[in-house]
Chains A and B, each alone.
Chain A
Amino acid sequence: MIWDVDYDAPAGKLIAIVGPNGAGKSTLIKATLDLVPKVSGDVRVFGQPYEEQRTRVAYVPQRTSVDWDFPVSAQDVVAMGLYKKIGWCRPVTRRWRIEAREALDRVGLADFSRRQISQLSGGQQQRVFLARALVQRADLYLMDEPFAGVDAATERAILQVLRDLRSTGKTALVVHHDLQTVADYFDHVLLLNMRLVASGPTAEVFTEENLRRTYGGRLALLDQVGTRLAEGQ
């Protein structure tokens, strides 16, 4: 549960969402996408409600959120990002498969398009998810811990993709856990611990003082009232 996050993401920037476990980082992303209910508040994407701007938003969930033993290939998973565009009851034709392969190429997995997803390494699986978001050609990318537990090659590939996105004017909101790399990778930062602690350009906001406030333990009262509120719903 998170409280009263009031934030305007600047367009064309790479933005890190940083905070301790249970701070509500994933919840913030899911609330943006209407995947979890909001008690109050609203989210506007490019000035409009999310439902009207769906096609401009791509989502990269946590890798562990799906079953990687599912009997599909890397290319199949990437093509899923195109399903809405392809439309109901229509098959995935050659043209879409080519588009999926191109996205796999951008994340360095061109040779793995026919590989079953269960046979990919963790880092490769993460890159498949990234390719699936790329294929949506969105303007806003919401990514939940794409750097979690990946190998060095994957980390470089993801970073390259993020920078390419920024250079074409896209925005990415990325849940990030590695404090060492925040300053190197991101322009803006959003510090979260059940509420918005601070936000703004990394150079100004990513300070020791703000980090201490972010990581300085949970607010016990906020937790307690939150539980009661949930029970009262």
Chain B
Amino acid sequence: MIHEFFQLLSGWSSLDTAIAGSAALTAMSCSLPGAWLVLRKHSMMGDALSHTALPGVVLAFLFSISMKQAGWVSAAQEDAFLQLFLFVGAVVVGVGTAWLTEWVQRLGRLEGSASLGVVFTAVFALGLLLIRLDVDNVHLDVDCVLFGIIETAALQKVPGTSIPEPVLVNGAIFLANLLLVVLFYKELKISAFDPGLATSLGIPARGIHYGLMAVTAVTVVAAFTTVGSILVIGLLIIPTATALLLSERLSVVLALSVCLAAISAALGHALTLTVPRMLFSRLGYPTIEDAGTAGMMSVTAGLLFLMALILAPGQGLISKLIHRLRLGLKISGDDILGVLFRFEEKTAMRPIDISVPALVARQNGMRPWMVSLSVRRLLRRDLVTRQTSGELVLTDRGRESAKSLIRAHRLWEAYMSKHFELPDDHLHETAHRVEHFIDDDIQERLQSELNAPTKDPHGKRIPELSDS
């Protein structure tokens, strides 16, 4: 199967490079403004902008066409004017959407996401109507606007060169965004983290908000021809969502977002060439050979997010599972030491031994495999030893460790009995749960607050740390 994968990939042509490059630059250009939207908790603003941009795009087309029809510009100039109108339209849309949602929110007494919903669906529908009204003049395919056609977009070359048009356009946008982020890094950071502080310092947080919206809208409009208005939302949000799982440093998060965006795009196109053919030929549809690169990009970005969710150090599912398992082992190890210590205490015999099955029987609700794992851990740490008959005995180190645990348990019981109105037989349960988390420092403080008690509420001796 891997062989088949690489065999299919060996058909990679210069067109594939053009497509992957266009896709990567589009994704990279989106990831930068998208990162700030996510950090400001304005992710849905990306959704709104990608929809409200539609009437802006349609109007830009209409204007440039009517200028040509009126004879004001030549056919050669038309494209330049179209680009200019698209740019201006996007800026207006960006600032307008931000302003309109705030206005609807205040006047309509709606919560933020509701007013976004009102504004962006209404304005988007207006765009669809505009297409319908002047359908003869607007050579806009709704499907193209929604989903983009990266494959044909990459075929368009910049006049006089062999550079694909999206590479130039989206590459320029990416560089512009990068420059803006580098220049205004501090200002973006402070107005995202604490707009109130920014304003009180005299840094115009609102202005920066509107600026970010305008930049996002321009980026989104430029991405329309390659990925369309729906999938672009994924490109804005997913790379940063993934990066935030992997790092807690802002500069690293931004750099990772750009890298992840590029990887999603390139990998997405590679998967487009291979996975559908491999999948569908097995399902009995050998004629299906391809899938849209734009869609596969978002799927890949989603898969990378899922991988980060599972594998991320610290925050990932696996490292959380390992942490839980470690804690479980510590607790059950502690419990075993406690059992041995209490046994010694009750029988006044030292050392006393206990067999592993007997331990399991005493540890209610603890799984036998956990017990045997914990026993192995205790043996390795030289806290218990195993006698030739197979039974366990506390070592001196183990006894010290157990003493601290029992001390924590009984001090806590004494503390609860002093401060809580509880019958004495209710104390053990809670103390048993918290004893693992009471370190020497807290023991010290409990000790001094309770005036160094020697007995717990049940009359059992609270062992001192230094006694032997």
CA distance in complex: A192, B197 (Å): 24
The segment from B71-79, B116-124, B244-252 that touches chain A is: B244-252
Interfacial chain B residues near A88, Cβ < 8 Å: 184, 187
Q: A71-B250, A80-B190, A83-B190 are in contact. Are A89 and B184 (CB under 8 A)?
A: yes
Q: A35-B196, A61-B197, A67-B41 given as contacts; is B190 within 8 A of A54 (CB)?
A: no
Interface check A92, CB cutoff 8 A: yes
A83–B187 contact, CB under 8 A? yes
**Complex alpha-carbon distance, A35 and B39, angstroms:** 22
Given B39, B184, B196, B200, which contacts A57 in the complex, CB threshold below 8 Å? B200
Collect the chain A residues with CB atoms within 8 Å of residue B7's CB.
Answer: none
Q: Say how far B298's CB is from chain A's closest CB, in angstroms.
A: 24
**How distant is the Cα of A161 from the Cα of B247 in the complex, in angstroms?**
33
- CA separation between A61 and B187, bound complex, in Å? 19
Residues of A contacting B185 in the complex (Cβ-Cβ under 8 angstroms):
91
* B200–A33 CB distance below 8 A: yes
B419 CB–A CB distance under 8 Å: no
Distance between Cα atoms of A116 and B249 in the complex (Å): 8
The reply to whether B196 and A70 contact each other, CB–CB distance below 8 Å, is no
B contact residues, total (Cβ < 8 Å): 27
Please report the C-alpha to C-alpha distance between residue A2 and residue B374 in the assembled complex, in whole angstroms.
63
Interface string of A74-108 (1 = CB under 8 A from B): 00110011011010111110000000000000000
Which one, A61, A71, A83, A92, contacts B201 given CB within 8 A?
Answer: A83
CB-defined contacts of B192 to chain A, threshold 8 Å: 70
Q: Are A72 and B189 in contact (CB under 8 A)?
A: yes
Contacts of A57 in B (CB 8 A): 200
- Counting CB contacts under 8 A, is B203 at the interface? yes
Contacts of A73 on B, CB cut-off 8 Å?
249
Cβ of A210 within 8 Å of any chain B Cβ, yes or no, is no
Q: Is B464 an interface position by the 8 A CB rule? A: no
Select from chain A the residue with minimum beta-carbon distance to B250. A71
Given A83-B186, A83-B201, is A72 in contact with B194 using a C-beta cutoff of 8 Å? no
Distance of A89 Cα from B185 Cα, bound (Å): 8
Contact A67 B186, CB 8 Å, known A54-B201, A54-B202, A72-B250: no
Asked if B199 lies at the interface with its beta carbon under 8 angstroms from chain A, I say yes
Contact of B249 among A54, A71, A77, A90 (CB under 8 A): A71
Tally of chain A residues near chain B (CB < 8 A): 32
**A70 partner residues in chain B, CB cutoff 8 A:** 39, 192-193, 250
Question: Which residue in A34, A80, A89, A92 is a CB contact (below 8 Å) of B197?
Answer: A80
Q: How far is the CA of A34 from the CA of B201 in the complex (A)?
A: 11
A221 located at the interface, meaning its Cβ lies under 8 Å from any Cβ of chain B in the complex? no
Nearest CB in chain B: distance from A62 CB, A? 10
In the assembled complex, the Cα of A116 lies from the Cα of B247 at a distance in Å of: 10
Number of A-B contacts (CB under 8 A): 77
B200 with A72: CB separation less than 8 A = no
Within 8 A of A (CB), among B185-236: 185-187, 189-190, 192-194, 196-203
Q: Which residues of A contact B189 (CB under 8 A)?
A: 72, 76, 80
Residue B183, interface by CB 8 Å: yes
A225 contacts the other chain (CB 8 A): no
A84 touching B202 in the complex, CB below 8 Å, given contacts A59-B197, A67-B41, A70-B39: yes
Contact (Cβ within 8 A) A116 B194: no
Assuming the A-B contacts A71-B247, A83-B187, A92-B186, are A59 and B200 also in contact, with contact meaning beta carbons closer than 8 angstroms in the complex?
yes
Would you call B253 an interface residue if the criterion is a C-beta within 8 Å of the partner chain's C-beta atoms?
Answer: yes
Cβ of A118 under 8 Å from chain B: yes
- Contact partner, A71, options B184, B186, B202, B248, Cβ 8 Å: B248
Known: A35-B200, A59-B196, A61-B194. A71 touches B187 (CB 8 A): no
Per-residue B-contact encoding for A35-72, CB less than 8 Å = 1, 0 else:
10000000000000001001001010100011100111
Report the separation of the CA atoms of residues A33 and B184 in the bound assembly, to the nearest whole angstrom. Answer: 24
Task: Determine the residue in chain B with the shortest Cβ distance to A132.
Answer: B197
Residues of A within 8 A of B194 (CB): 61, 65-66, 80
The smallest C-beta distance from B184 to any residue of chain A, in angstroms, reads 7
Point out the residues of chain A lying under 8 angstroms from B197, CB to CB: 59, 61, 80-81, 132
A71-B253, A72-B189, A80-B190 known; A89 and B183 CB under 8 Å? yes
In B239-292, the 8 Å CB interface with A consists of: 244, 247-250, 252-253
A86 — which chain B residues lie within 8 A by C-beta? 186
B residues in contact with A34, CB < 8 Å: 199-200
User: Which residues of B352-387 are within 8 A (CB) of A?
Assistant: none
Closest to B243 in A: A71
Quick one: which of B87-101 are within 8 Å of A by CB? none
B253 contact set on A, CB distance < 8 A: 71
Which residues of the other chain, A, contact B187 by a CB distance below 8 angstroms?
Answer: 83, 88
B167-194, CB under 8 A of A: which get 1 and which 0?
0000000000000000111110110111
What distance in Å separates the Cβ of A46 from its nearest Cβ neighbour in chain B?
16
A90 surroundings in chain B (CB, below 8 A): 186
In angstroms, Cα B201 to Cα A136, docked, is 10
Q: Is the CB of A84 within 8 A of B203?
A: yes
In the complex, residue of chain B having the shortest beta-carbon distance to the beta carbon of A70:
B193
Which of A59, A72, A92, A116 is the one whose CB lies under 8 Å from B193? A72
Cα distance, A71 to B247, chains bound together (Å): 8
Whole-angstrom distance between the Cβ of A83 and the nearest chain B Cβ: 5
Known: A61-B194, A67-B41. A83 touches B203 (CB 8 A): yes
Assess A61 versus B196: contact at CB under 8 Å? Given A84-B202, A84-B203, A89-B184: yes
Contacts of B244 in A (CB 8 A): 71
* Interface residue ranges, A against B (CB under 8 Å): 30, 33-35, 51, 54, 57, 59, 61, 65-67, 70-73, 76-77, 80-81, 83-84, 86, 88-92, 116, 118, 132, 136
Q: In the complex, given contacts A34-B199, A76-B250, what are 13 additional A-B residue pairs having Cβ atoms less than 8 angstroms apart?
A: A35-B199, A57-B200, A59-B200, A66-B193, A67-B193, A71-B39, A71-B247, A71-B252, A80-B197, A83-B186, A83-B190, A88-B187, A89-B183
Q: List 19 A-B contacts (CB under 8 A).
A: A35-B196, A51-B202, A59-B197, A70-B39, A70-B192, A71-B253, A73-B249, A77-B193, A80-B186, A80-B194, A83-B190, A83-B201, A84-B203, A88-B187, A89-B183, A91-B186, A116-B248, A116-B249, A132-B197
